[in-house]
Amino acid sequence: MERGVFTANEIDSVLESMGITDRTAITRYGSGHINDTFKVDTSSGKSFILQRVNTAIFDPQAQELLKRVLLKVTSFLKSKGVKTLDFVAYEAPWRLYSYYGDCTVNEVVVSPLQAYDIGRAFAKFHNDLSDLPPPRLEEVLPKFHDTLERLKALDEALSNDVANRAALVADELKFVEKRRAQAGRIVSLMASGEIPERVIHNDSKINNLLFMRDGSAVIIDLDTVMPGSVLSDFGDMVRTATASAAEDEADLSKVYSKKEYFEELSRGYISGAAFLTQAEIDNLVFAGQLSTFEVGVRFLTDYINGDTYFHTSYPEHNLVRARNQFKMVESLEENAEEYEKIVKELFTKK
């Protein structure tokens, strides 16, 4: 979908209702696929992030639920002294947070050390939320990482074929069919209780992490924090933090998973994730393949649906992303044996 179009007057009236009357500049910000994000500068020198939550994905009831969950999660993190999103105002679907300027946001990892830092940061996030007080965190977007549901959505998109694109994706569908049988593995292991439910981020891609100049990291984009398996988060880290290129790189010869990044990412995550059970450990490598496959399926589905979910910048954008993700899946499959060895060694060294 196209990003939302808002006039300066509209944005100013939102800001005014939030008590901001001295703005000097409003600029589109970041490259998130879901929300409309703006940086707001003011004459006092303080800057903010103004965000409109995507109302096509979060209906009014989900918006209220989201707000409750976010305030619970961020106030809990703050009570532990963890730097997190700092809400200045929240008038659903709009919200304003303090802008963290002293940081960088990456689309692709630039060094093995950075991959290590990402692993460490999400292990800390999992630890920080491991004692979130009951009740069980409400699910704003249920079945978010139910890969079988994602495949059902693909099947539905194909049978509706509203954009007449089904005929254009025969190769991609073949790719999906070859892997359909293994797509329910983590969902089944969770249903049987073999893999525990924990509070996770659910969208642990690299650009949802701010690398602060002091060496620390702040995890943002908390809209999907829900109960789930840490394997979904580790998988999405493998998808984005071991990738040699951005997820919409169209030249597939440039797209593959980098072993040295996988090693450091895993080292960072495992060194902080003492809570991992054997069943979780056994599925770390597979989780990378599955999360990447799942996102590829979602991009493909959105392409077939005529681009109604993810922000796109050109008509083939979702198809390019899907192909890119499937190339990444192939690379992860090729590297699987070696990645299993790396994980095993990291545990024997511990």
Does 236 sit near Mg ion (CB under 5 A)?
no
Alpha-carbon separation of residue 319 from 171, 243, 310 (angstroms):
12, 18, 12
Question: Encoding tokens for residue 94?
Answer: 């709009």
Would you call 240 helix, strand, or coil by DSSP?
Answer: helix
**Is 229 one of the binding residues for Mg ion (CB under 5 A)?**
no
* Site mask for Mg ion (CB under 5 A), range 19-58, x = bound: -------------x--------------------------
145 alpha carbon, distance to own chain's centre? 11
Decide: is 33 part of the binding site for ligand GN1 (CB under 6 A).
Answer: yes
Cα(69)–Cα(60) distance, integer angstroms? 14
The verdict on 221 binding ligand GN1 (CB under 6 A) reads yes
Q: 3-state class of 32 per DSSP?
A: coil
Q: Regarding beta strands 198-200 and 87-91, do their DSSP bridges make them parallel or antiparallel, or are they unpaired? A: unpaired
190 binds, among Mg ion, ligand GN1, ligand ADP, none (CB under 5 to 8 A by kind): none
Task: Name the E strands within the chain.
Answer: 23-28, 36-42, 47-52, 87-91, 94-98, 103-104, 198-200, 209-212, 217-219, 226-228
CA 122 to chain centre: 12
Which residue number, 236 or 264, has a Cβ lying nearer to ligand GN1?
236
205 binds ligand GN1 (CB under 6 A): yes
32 binds ligand GN1 per the rule CB under 6 A: yes
Which residues ranging from 5 to 64 are in contact with ligand ADP (CB under 6 A)? 29-30, 32-35, 37, 49
| Residue 35 or 312 with smaller CB distance to ligand ADP | 35
Q: Which single residue brings its beta carbon nearest to ligand GN1?
A: 33
Binds ligand GN1 (CB under 6 A): choice among 74, 208, 289, 318: 208
Which residues 197-226 are close enough to bind ligand ADP by CB under 6 A?
207-208, 210, 220-221, 223
Residues 247-286 that bind ligand GN1 (CB under 6 A): 247
Contact 261/112 with Cβ under 8 angstroms?
A: yes
CB of 100 to ligand ADP, least distance (A): 4
Q: What's the token pair of residue 301?
A: 């589905």
Pair of tokens at residue 147: 């890969």
Q: Which residues bind ligand ADP (CB under 6 A)?
A: 29-30, 32-35, 37, 49, 85, 97, 99-100, 105, 207-208, 210, 220-221, 223
